[in-house]
Structure 1
């Protein structure tokens, strides 16, 4: 039996923009369902926010996101989690890196590390921290 880990991102009113951004970075298929679509509206002002969304690519990238309803506590946090993207090709990882850092903040510049030929950490314009690296030959 195998399992698959998928990162789930929680936003407050920014899930649609975040999903569109990640779709632009990684490609693949973007799917989104609003609270209205699901007939789960509890606050009319949030009806068109995302209740469930995902971006999935044939290359293996998969992320989910939703807008936390206003009635629930939510704190973006400083660095509540990391999303790790590991690949085989430096060119591919570098391409993702360049797109993710647009409007974001570099935490650790992309470069060689003791465990990887290429590693970096960036906080994107939505406050999500990404760790990108190339798998070490082994």
Structure 2
């Protein structure tokens, strides 16, 4: 039996939009289930919010997301986490980078670093910080 780790992103009213964007970058399929569909609505504003969602691709990319309930506090914070996408194909990583750059703030341009032949960091339009690189070790 194996164990996997998946990044689970928390949003407020942007989970579906973020999942669709990440699908446009990495491919795969979006699955999103709302509070309304789960018949677990505490506040009318929660009805169409995502209680469980994910993007999963055949090559192993997987990210989950949901919308925090109206009754819960939400603060995205400054740097609560980074999402790291590491591969061995520079063309593939560069393609993901170019797509994620849409509306993003570039923190470190994609290029060689002391520990990787290709490394870059950006904060996407949803406030999520992504690190993309080529595995060197």
Per the normalisation by structure 2, the TM-score is 0.97
**Superposed displacement of residue 47, structure 1:** 0.2
Q: Which runs of 5+ in 1 are unaligned?
A: none
Q: Which runs of 5+ in 2 are unaligned?
A: none
Question: Partner of 1:116: helix, strand, or coil?
Answer: coil
Query: 1:1-138 residue pairs with structure 2 within 5 A?
Result: 1-136=1-136, 138=137
**Superposed displacement of residue 103, structure 1:** 0.3
Question: Partner of 2:108: helix, strand, or coil?
Answer: strand
- Between the two proteins, the alignment pairs up a number of residues equal to 137
**Superposed displacement of residue 121, structure 1:** 0.2
Question: Partner of 2:125: helix, strand, or coil?
Answer: coil
Moved over 2 A (4+): none
Q: Distance in 1 between matches of 2:86 and 2:23?
A: 17
